[in-house]
Amino acid sequence: MKGFKPSAPFLLLLPAIIVLAAVVVVPLILSLYSSFTPFRLTKPETFFVFVGFRNYVSILSNADFWWAFGRTVLLLTIALNLEMLLGLGLAMLVEKATRGQRLLRTLMMFPMMFSPILVGFQFKFMFNDNIGLVNNALQSLGITQDAIPWLIEGHLAFIAISIAEIWSSTAIFAILILAGLLAMPKEPIEAARVDGCTPWQTFRYVTWPFVMPFAYIAMTIRSLDVARAYDIVKIMTDGGPAGRTELLWTLVARTAYSDGRMGMANAMAYFSILLSIAFTVYFFNKLAAARTQIGAEW
Amino acid sequence: MDENSSARLKRSLLRITYRIGLFLAMLTICLPGLWIVLSSLRPTVEIMAKPPVWIPQQISFDAYVAMFSGIGKGGIPVIEYFRNSLIISVTSTVIAVAIGMAGGYAFARYRFRGKSGVFLGLMLTRTVPGIALSLPLFFLYVRLGIIDTHFGLILAYVALNVPFTIWLIDGFFRQVPKDLAEAAQIDGCTRWQAFWQVEFPLAGPGIASAAIFAFLTCWNEFALASQLTRSVSAKTLPVGLLDYTAEFTIDWRGMCALAVVMIIPALTLTYIVQKHLVGGLTSGAVKG
């Protein structure tokens, strides 16, 4: 190595690379290997038996896995789209406020401070069929006589989980889109109005293109962290009733720690990792494109 | 005249609709949290009452007293969990910020080959779901004997936070004009001195907010902590919360009280940091 002088940015990035390699990359290589073995926690010797793609084949032919996979994608699609729409709406509501905007902004960030596990607990409490706020309110208002089994019936549980998920993450979109709205110069909007644009046209062709990069930043941040839904589901229903709210992540945890089938779980985990990476790369590219579109340096 | 008054009517109608909309939105955001706080202060009888009691008849801090008076009364060792959470979060935050400062500075101040590739690579390590990462870590930690220790969790959390602190700190260094450090270097500072005396103080508030963000991530993390810790010696508060649900009869009031204990540090810190956080995340979106 004599005469080799590492560049400054390399040296500065070295600690980050070492830590990430040690805690993320190497373990992931290990788990990739073990996804090709019938490794069970109770039988350590199975770690060295190589079975090729048998785990993957049995996963792909497993209906439970596909249900969980489909449900995860469905939840993410519903949640991300609604979060985006609601966040946009909320940001525009707050932006319009003439007084107390600072207070409103703080209130708006409120759900961001809740850890997913707390969000899960809070909605488990509110959706409790017997003593929950939701059922109590519905019954007191006379809308329904019966206790609605929110977390006990499959579809309702899925809806309850989606609501919890949306409640907790809309704030990220709202706060970033609001930052975009506040940073936006006012002249183009006025010019559009003078030129006779309807409010909708002004929004569609002036405001939205400007705010879009901010929405993509929010999407990218959010997609880094999609798996936080695991915490919410874990505490709200733990995949039940009868596996009707089982997501990819809860299925991985169950296969690994309850059934002890590590090899199988690692193979499943790789699907969840690929799903996350796909989401992130997609939005990251969109973000980069949006940035170049408004002429920013990357 | 007629047109005028109808326009005025329409205007005030719009304003009222707007007010109602804003109020409903804010109510939806705040209500769940307030409900938790309220429930933690009410006696269990009132929480369980049928038909529901809407207006609290008596307020007491019994749940909090019980929680902090040891295992015997409160059910779960909250003080130990709190201490574990604090030790693990603070240590891993300090390390992650130190590493993040070096990395963020590299991204903000140097041009090098494969820059955006490296950046994306760092971000991708963050996308690995906690539960998927916990499988090999669990196995490795058992082998290395660091399962259920503070050290193991701190190590995992540093790795979890580094990508995001780099992103944030990169943004804050970009906001500090390059010329300032260059001017200091012309005046005789070394690059090292210029960094600590000019750039660091200017980016300071941003770095502080990155630190708070990292702290909150550790404070709130569950998926990894739930698998890598087992006993009172390393369990954190989020894992502790699950202790309550494991029992057949859920002590709703106790859980609410624990939830409030968890949320208060997060609330305070986020409030301090909110302004810088948004600035850091969006820097570079408008101009480079």
| A72-119 pLDDT per residue, tens | 889 988 988 899 999 999 998 888 887 878 788 888 888 888 888 888
pLDDT of A183-239, one tens digit each?
A: 788 888 888 888 888 888 888 888 888 888 888 888 877 877 778 888 888 888 887
Supply A294's token pair: 């408004």
Closest approach of chain B CAs to the CA of A252, in angstroms? Answer: 7
Report the 10 Å Cβ neighbour count for B259: 26
Identify which has the larger pLDDT, B49 or A276: A276
Tell me the C-alpha distance between A61 and A44, whole Å.
26
Interhelix angle A154-183/B2-41, rounded to 10 degrees, is 120
Q: Which residues of A274-298 are buried (b: 16+ CB within 10 A; e: fewer)?
A: ebbeebbbebbebbbebbeeeeeee
Any domain includes A19? no
Any domain includes A254? yes
Any domain includes A56? no
Given a cut of 70, is residue B1 above it in pLDDT?
no
Question: Considering just the CA atoms, what is the radius of gyration of chain B in Å?
Answer: 25
Q: Can you tell me the ipTM of this complex?
A: 0.80
Which residues of chain B make contact with A117, given a CB cutoff of 8 A? 220, 222, 238, 241-242
At position A159, the amino acid (one-letter code) is: I
Q: Which CATH number belongs to the domain containing residue A182 in this structure?
A: 1.10.3720.10
- Size of chain A, expressed as the number of residues it contains: 298
Nearest to B223 among A105, A110, A230 (CB): A230
- Size of chain B, expressed as the number of residues it contains: 288
Supply B14's token pair: 């719009």
Residues 6+ apart with CB under 8 A from B210: B97, B100, B164, B165, B168, B169, B172, B280
Q: For chain B, which residues make up each domain, given as ranges? A: 2-60, 67-282
Any domain includes A28? no
pLDDT at B283: 57
Interface residue A7 vs chain B (CB under 8 A): yes
Interface contact A296-B29, CB threshold 8 A = no
Tell me the C-alpha distance between A67 and A65, whole Å.
5
B154 — pLDDT class (breaks 50, 70, 90): very high
Question: Considering just the CA atoms, what is the radius of gyration of chain A in Å?
Answer: 24
Any domain includes A185? yes
The domain in which residue A274 lies consists of 63-293
Tell me the C-alpha distance between A76 and A283, whole Å.
14
Interface residue A93 vs chain B (CB under 8 A): yes
Supply A24's token pair: 């993320």
Any domain includes A267? yes
pLDDT at B59: 79
Supply B64's token pair: 């909090």
Q: SS3 for A243?
A: coil
Any domain includes A58? no
**Domain B67-282's class?**
mainly alpha
Which residues of chain B make contact with A249, given a CB cutoff of 8 A? 129, 131-132, 223
Any domain includes A142? yes
pLDDT at B280: 62
Interface residue A85 vs chain B (CB under 8 A): no
Tell me the C-alpha distance between B161 and B95, whole Å.
10
pLDDT at B285: 44
Closest approach of chain A CAs to the CA of B69, in angstroms? Answer: 23
45-64 of A, contacting B, C-beta below 8 A: none
